[in-house]
Amino acid sequence: MYAIIDIETTGGNASRERITEIAIYIHDGKKVVNEYSTLINPECKVPPFVARLTGISDEMLVNAPKFFEVARDIVEITEGCTFVAHNAAFDYSFVKQEFLNLGYKYKRPVLCTVKMSRKLLPGHPSYSLGNLCSSLGIQITSRHRASGDALATVKLFERLLSVDPTLSQIPTDGLHPSLDRSIFSRLPLTAGVYYFHDENGKLLYIGKSKNIHARVLSHFQNSTTSKAIEMRSNTASISFEETGSELIALLLESDEIKKHKPLHNRLQRRTLYKYGLYSLYLQSGYRMLQIEKIKSTGKPHTVFASFDEALVLVHDIVAKYNLCQKLCGLYQNHGACFQHSIGQCSGACIGIEPADEYNLRVDAALKEFRHKWTDMAIIDHGRNEDEVSVVLIENNVFAGFGWMSNEESISDPIKIKDFIRPYSDNRDVHQIIKGFLNTGKALKIIRF
């Protein structure tokens, strides 16, 4: 899968300038299968010459979302994809820097259509997007706007694929001689769990994804680390189990890793979650939020697989509930936090806002992570249109999951039990289910 991306910015230096617009077209090697675009408030002025070039003015950006508000969307839509852009080093450097500003390391394999065009379409006097598309008869609508330029890059990318179809195929170098290459065309585009086996059938790695095909291909296109190359060269066969449901994929992956302890899942053998969001009351009376490694004592309000994931969520709730950066562990300097200097923090960081007023908003934010662990059935997508998936909580314990026909009654707990595969209840399972419920992605929740 390919994320074909174009951005507009306030200038040319990623460390000093900001993104004002982004457009993303997800391409499966044959056609566009998803798209996303938005203006972005850069939290700074757009220079006049940039505004004249792009047509994007300060007035257009006042009510646009800030980058941290769209960061999760960008991570999710590009998950398992190769980052494709015309002069990709420019676009990729800006996107990486915006995420670094949030404390998040954004990393994707990268393809540059300038470099590919020079190789596959030699002889053109210029390889700028405008000139090259003009030479090839590719029309660009809305030049110097992210969506128009990204769509032109899509058409250019498809032209490059017609010259060299192997661009959309898995690399042939470094693969195990026993690996059946046809497996890549048979991998489903749906949620589930996938397994990498060595030549003796021993499990090397277990993973999960909302799109098995895209995620497995991203593994085999990854040559950035010695571990990735080693796993790719040792994988002699690939198997998978479709779940349809992202929640069941998470639960099944957790159980399988604990059961089989694959070589390349070392970090996930004990727990999928390493960090938690904790709170404490300071002597001044303010309630402070902190991201910390999971502790043996004390219960976190919610948990995260990585510190980066935790940072993104904390940035979200700071903006949503007008919390103080300093009292949420995002600003380490003495004195007022940055948000106070621009009028977006009411001064809890320097004791201006009363603690009891501030704490009310902290409590409201933390309520998002509270779920009463009662008997329930969580209904989600099935493996096809004729069924739904069910995760059952019974007697305050995770009982297991399964799939039911749409025609069956999903409100009858006795009938539901007939379709449930029993699985072990443990701390990771509770955190997975709690985290999924926090997203609001379930199709339906039935409480008994």
**Catalytic machinery residues:** 144
Tell me how crowded residue 87 is: count the other CB atoms within 10 A of its CB: 16
Gyration radius from the chain CA atoms: 24
82 pairs with which residues across the strands? 2
Neighbours of 269 (CB within 10 A): 12
8 A C-beta contact, residue 102 and residue 67: yes
What are the Cα distances from residue 239, in Å, to 185, 196, 221, 246?
Answer: 13, 7, 18, 18
Other beta carbons within 10 angstroms of residue 112's beta carbon come to 18
Single-letter amino acid code for the residue at 346: S
Measured CA to CA, the distance from residue 47 to residue 342 in angstroms comes to 20
In which residue are the tokens 């792009």 written? 54
Residue 258, both tokens? 């604990």
Each as own residue / partner, the long-range contacts of residues 335-341 (CB below 8 Å, 24 or more positions apart, any chain) are: none
Q: d(Cα 425, Cα 394) in Å, to the nearest integer?
A: 11
* Residue 384 DSSP label: S
CA distance 36 to 433: 28
Instruction: Name the packing angle between helices 113-120 and 146-163 (round to 10°).
Output: 30
Query: HSE-up of 37 (CA within 13 Å, CB side)?
Result: 16
Report H helices in 385-426. 413-417
Residue 162 has, within 13 A of its CA and on its CB side, a CA count of: 8
Rounded CA-CA distance 78/279 in Å is 32
* β-bridge partners, 207: 194
Closest residue by Cα to residue 32 from 138, 154, 137, 141: 154
Burial class (CB in 10 A: 0-12, 13-18, 19+), 323: buried
Q: CB of 37 within 8 A of CB of 22?
A: yes
